[in-house]
Amino acid sequence: MHHLQRSSYFHVFVVLGGLIAAAVTVPGCSIESPHPRTVPAGIEFNLESPGGVRSLDVFIYRDTLIREIESHHRLEAPLPETIFLNSSPGNRLLVAIANSPAPFREEALQRFESAEQLEMYYREEDPEYPLMSATTSFCEGPVTIKLTPLLCPVNILYINNLTGLALSGVRVQLRKVNSHVQMLRTHGFSTVETEDNPAILAHPEIMRREIQAVIGHELSPKGLTLYCYPFDGEGPSRTTLTLTAMAGSEQREWSFAIPPLSRGQSAAMELTLK
């Protein structure tokens, strides 16, 4: 089952609460009256998610020169259809992060530049509730926020066995997966540290899977998907897919390079074994 294909939709309201003083001037936003108003204006958000949402952290930053934080809200599932969040008027940057496994240290995220450095770890990923994020600027709605996952599906579509021997005890595994990446980055992911050990993962099946069937000449496995972290930066990609199996009385291993992948991008693999 390919969990990252599921879609869900939420409607989110950010309410511009409080009084608006006559002296306030906000670039890019229109204020109809110079007098204080008591009825809050609302901005409607549609949240699109390709994966399940268990929790949602919303950070609102003032879109000024220093881009400092105004508020942080953590919302737990089940999310209501309409959510109201307080914010003062003006241009804002909204950062939404879904499915963080632990609470954020708000004091470390006081400016938007700090949020841009925030890193997430492959070992904490859950393919059903993947780590996802979106960043958008707003003044007045409606705005659509599209969450994108970090995880990249590696779909094994076809195995062509040219060894002349039946293969048993087949196992596929990803190796040298990026161990951590920046949460808000959209491209330019480079390899810093890698992960090889499924045993330390919250969900080992994203890195390693067993194939119960004996492979004769060919096999088209159904739903055989592993997940890696993105790599599309400078330098060669280090992530590989290995297949190990017993060929007769000998254990053999084949290795295949994973192409560069941006966040959420999938790879379709057809493996030829010689």
Tokens representing 197 are 């050990």
pLDDT tens string 156-194:
999 999 999 999 999 999 999 999 999 999 999 988 899
How high is the pLDDT of residue 89? 80
- Averaged confidence pLDDT in the chain: 84
Q: pLDDT tens-digit profile of 63-108?
A: 999 999 999 999 999 877 766 777 778 888 999 999 999 999 989 9
Fold of 3-149: Immunoglobulin-like (2.60.40)
Contact 175, 247 (CB under 8 A): no
Q: Write out pLDDT tens, residues 219-249.
A: 999 889 999 999 998 776 689 999 999 998 9
Q: How far apart are CA 240 and CA 194, in angstroms?
A: 11
What one-letter code names the amino acid at 55? S
How is the chain split into domains, by residue range? 3-149, 152-273
pTM of the model: 0.83
Assign 3-class secondary structure to the chain.
CCHHHCCEEEEEEEEECCCCCCCCCCCCCCCCCCCCCCCCEEEEEEEEECCCCCEEEEEEEECCCCCEEEEEEEEECCCCCCCEEEECCCCEEEEEEECCCCCCCHHHHCEHHHHHCCEEEHHHCCCCCCCEEEEEEECCCCEEEECEECCEEEEEEEEEECCCCCEEEEEEEEECEECEEECCCCCCCCCCCEECCHHHCCCHHHCEEEECCCECCEECCCCCEEEECCECCCCCCCCEEEEEEEECCEEEEEEEECCCECCCCCEEEEEEEC
- pLDDT reported for residue 122: 98
pLDDT at 237: 67
